[in-house]
Amino acid sequence: MYTVFVRNITFSADESAIDRAREVARNEHKTLNDAFREWLVQYGSRAVSAGEIEELYRSLRHVNAWRKFTRDEMNERR
């Protein structure tokens, strides 16, 4: 027999947002708790490992801008 340990969390949200989310979950034949657990797994899976970042850097090693970027250029937001 396997035992899964779960932790409870409490969060707050606008009442109308909760009501809309419950309605969506109900239409999908699940509870809001089930929908939140699915979201939590998806959200947590967005994390990128150090190995994945290193692999990305290795795959882009051939890229050369032919000049050094200024500090302002490197921090520019678009």
pLDDT digits over 25-72, tens only?
999 999 999 999 999 999 988 888 888 889 988 998 888 888 888 899
Task: Please name the residues in contact with 18: beta carbons below 8 A apart, sequence gap of 6 or more.
Answer: 32
**Residue carrying the six token digits 């989310």:** 21
**Within 13 Å, how many C-alpha atoms sit on residue 31's CB side?**
3
The pLDDT of residue 52: 87
Residue 10 is predicted with a pLDDT of: 92
| Residue, of 2 and 56, whose pLDDT is higher | 56
Predicted local confidence at residue 22, as pLDDT: 96
Query: Mind listing the pLDDT tens digit for each residue in 3-31?
Result: 788 889 999 999 999 999 999 999 999 99
